[in-house]
Structure 1
Amino acid sequence: MEAFFEGQSGNWGYESLKNFRQISPSVQKHLKLVYLTLCSALVASAAGVYLHILFNVGGIITTLACFVGIIFVMNTPPSENRKRLGYLMAASVLEGASIGPLFEVILDFDPRILVMGFVGTSLGFACFSGAAIVSKRREFLYLGGLLSAGFSILFWLRFASYIFGASASMFNVELYLGLLIFLGYIVFDTQEIIEKAHHGDLDYVKHALTLFTDFVAVLVRILIIMVKNSEKKRENKRKKRS
C-alpha cells in the first residue's frame, strides 16, 4: 500500500485509477469487505424505509433504538463480528425507519426525486471516496480538524435555532453547510480507513458504519435540497400562469 501512495504525485489519471493492484492484498480485501458491508447496510436501511411506509413505525423511538444499536456495534469486540454485523443491520433498519417520514413525503410530492437523489448521492460518494483512495497517503487527513470545527458550528447553529427560533436563512445555512461537511467526511473517513488498515486495523464493520453514516447524512440533505428546488419551480410556474 505504501508503494501505491508513494507512486502517486497527485495525478488522478486513468493509470492511477486502474492501479489498485499496488495496494497491499490485505487492504484490498479489507476495502472489499467494507464496501460490501456498506451496501448490505444500505439495503437494510431501504427495508426500514419500506417498513415505515407500511406500518408507520418511524419516529423518536426508532431513532433512539438506532443509537443503541450503534453503541452495541462500537462496544462489542471485533472477535464477535457476527453479532456486530447483526447489530449493524438492525441499526440500519432502524435508521431507515427513522428517515422514512421524509421518504414518505417525497413519494407523495414527486417519486422521481428519490431515484435522482439516491443516484446522485451514490455517484458523489463514489467520486469522493475514490478520490481519497487514489490520492497520496495522509493527503486529506488534515481535513479532520476543519471538519470537526465545521461540525461544531453546525451544532451551535442548530442549538441557536432551538433557542431563538428557526428561520429560513438559518435552515439553508445548516442544510448546505451540513452537506459540505459530510461530503468532506466521505473523503476524510475513506482515507482514515485506508490508513488504519495499513497499520493493521481491519475492523470492517466499524468502518462500514462510519461510511454508512456519511452516506445517509449526504442523502438526506440532497433530498431536502431537491424537494426545496422542485417546490420553488412549481411556485414560479403557478405565478407565471396566474
Structure 2
Amino acid sequence: MDAFSSFFYTQSSDSWTYDSLKSLHQISPVVQQHLRQVYLTLCCALVAAAIGAYLHLLWNVGGLLTMFGCLGSMIWLLSTPPFEERKRVALLMASALLQGASIGPLVELTVSLDPSILVAAFVGTALVFGCFSAAALLSRRREYLYLGGFLSSGLSILVWLHLFSSVFGGSAAIFEFELYVGLVLFVGYVVVDTQAIVERAHLGDLDFVKHSLTLFSDFASLFVRLSIILLKNSVDKRSNKKKKKRDG
C-alpha cells in the first residue's frame, strides 16, 4: 500500500512540474511545419467555400447537384495518390467550393432574415473551432483520442434518429435534440481530429490535404448547426414579439 501511495504521489507530482508539462506538449519541428501547412490549406478551403456560397446568392446554383458533386470530389481526392499534390489540392478546393454552394440556401435564408446572424455564426464557429483545436494541441498527446469511439457512437445514434423521424415523422423536440447534440459531437470531433492529425504526423503521415479536408468538414458541420440555432432563436424572438403586440 505504501509503495502504491509513493508511486501515485511521484507520478502526480511529476505530472505537474513545468518540465514534464513542457515535454508532454512538445511538438517536433516537422509536425509544426505540417500543422502550419494544414491550417493554411484549411483557410484557403474556407475562402473557396465562401466563394461557393456567394455564387449561390448570385445564380442559385446550390442544391442536390452540388452536394453530390462535393461528395464525389472528396471521394476522388481520397482515392488520388499522395504524390499528385497539385491535383489533390485542386480537388480539395473544388469540394470546398461545392460545399459552400450546398450551404448557399441556408446562407441566403439567413441573409434575407438578418445578415448579422451570418456574421455571428461564422465568428462563433471560428472561435469555438480555434479554442478547442488549440486545447487539443496544448494537451497531452493522445489524451482525447479515446473520445473518438464515444463520438462515433453518438453520431450513429443521431443518424438512426434522423432516419426514424424522416420515416415516421419527427417533432420539434427531436429536431432540437439532433441540433444541439450534433453541435456538441462536432466540437468533440474538432478535439479528437486535431490530436489524431498530430499523432499521425508524428508517425510519418504528412498528408496535409487529407488532414485539411478533415478539419474543413468539422468546421462546416459546426457552422451549419450554429447558423440554424441562431436562425431559429431569431425567428422565435420575432414570433414572440408579434404575439405580444397582438395580445397588447
Q: Same fold (TM over 0.5)?
A: yes
**Alpha-carbon distance between aligned partners in 1 of 2:27 and 2:185, rounded to the nearest angstrom:** 28
Cα 1:73–1:67, aligned 2, differ >3 Å: closer, same or farther? same
Structure 1 moving runs of 4+ over 4 Å = 8-12
Does residue 1:43 correspond to 2:44, yes or no? no
Residue from 130, 148, 154 that aligns with 2:158: 154
The answer on whether the counterparts of 1:9 and 1:136 sit within 8 Å (CA) in structure 2 is no
Identity of aligned residues (%): 57
Instruction: Give the drift of 1:9.
Output: 4.6
Tell me the alpha carbon deviations over residues 124-183 of structure 1, each in whole angstroms, 9 at most, x when there is no partner: 000000010000110000001000100110110111011101211111111111111111
**Alpha-carbon distance between aligned partners in 1 of 2:181 and 2:115, rounded to the nearest angstrom:** 26
User: What's the counterpart of residue 92 of structure 2?
Assistant: 88
Residue from 164, 167, 183 that aligns with 1:179: 183
Does residue 1:53 correspond to 2:66, yes or no? no
**Alpha-carbon distance between aligned partners in 2 of 1:142 and 1:126, rounded to the nearest angstrom:** 21
SS of 2:204 mapped into structure 1: coil
**Alpha-carbon distance between aligned partners in 1 of 2:63 and 2:150, rounded to the nearest angstrom:** 32
Code of the residue aligned with 1:186 in structure 2: it is V
Instruction: Give the drift of 1:72.
Output: 1.0
User: What's the counterpart of residue 24 of structure 1?
Assistant: 28
Cα 1:10–1:44, aligned 2, differ >3 Å: closer, same or farther? farther
The answer on whether the counterparts of 1:128 and 1:187 sit within 8 Å (CA) in structure 2 is yes
The answer on whether the counterparts of 1:186 and 1:214 sit within 8 Å (CA) in structure 2 is yes
Code of the residue aligned with 1:66 in structure 2: it is C
User: What's the counterpart of residue 191 of structure 1?
Assistant: 195
**Alpha-carbon distance between aligned partners in 2 of 1:121 and 1:100, rounded to the nearest angstrom:** 17
Code of the residue aligned with 2:203 in structure 1: it is H
User: What's the counterpart of residue 76 of structure 1?
Assistant: 80
Which ranges in structure 2 are unaligned for 5 or more consecutive residues?
A: 1-13
Tell me the alpha carbon deviations over residues 113-132 of structure 1, each in whole angstroms, 9 at most, x when there is no partner: 00011000000000000010
Mapping of residues 199-238 of structure 1, within 5 Å: 199-238=203-242
Cα 1:11–1:175, aligned 2, differ >3 Å: closer, same or farther? farther
**Alpha-carbon distance between aligned partners in 1 of 2:161 and 2:167, rounded to the nearest angstrom:** 10
* TM-score calculated relative to the size of structure 2: 0.89
**Alpha-carbon distance between aligned partners in 2 of 1:46 and 1:163, rounded to the nearest angstrom:** 33
Instruction: Give the drift of 1:11.
Output: 9.4
Code of the residue aligned with 1:80 in structure 2: it is E
* TM-score calculated relative to the size of structure 1: 0.91
Code of the residue aligned with 1:139 in structure 2: it is E
The answer on whether the counterparts of 1:10 and 1:135 sit within 8 Å (CA) in structure 2 is no
Tell me the alpha carbon deviations over residues 26-71 of structure 1, each in whole angstroms, 9 at most, x when there is no partner: 0000000000000000000000001111110100010000000000
Code of the residue aligned with 1:147 in structure 2: it is L
Aligned residues: 230
Code of the residue aligned with 2:83 in structure 1: it is S
**Alpha-carbon distance between aligned partners in 2 of 1:61 and 1:102, rounded to the nearest angstrom:** 16
User: What's the counterpart of residue 129 of structure 2?
Assistant: 125
Which entry has the higher C-alpha Rg, 1 or 2? 2
Residue from 129, 140, 149 that aligns with 1:145: 149
**Alpha-carbon distance between aligned partners in 2 of 1:195 and 1:10, rounded to the nearest angstrom:** 23
Aligned Cα root-mean-square deviation (Å): 1.8
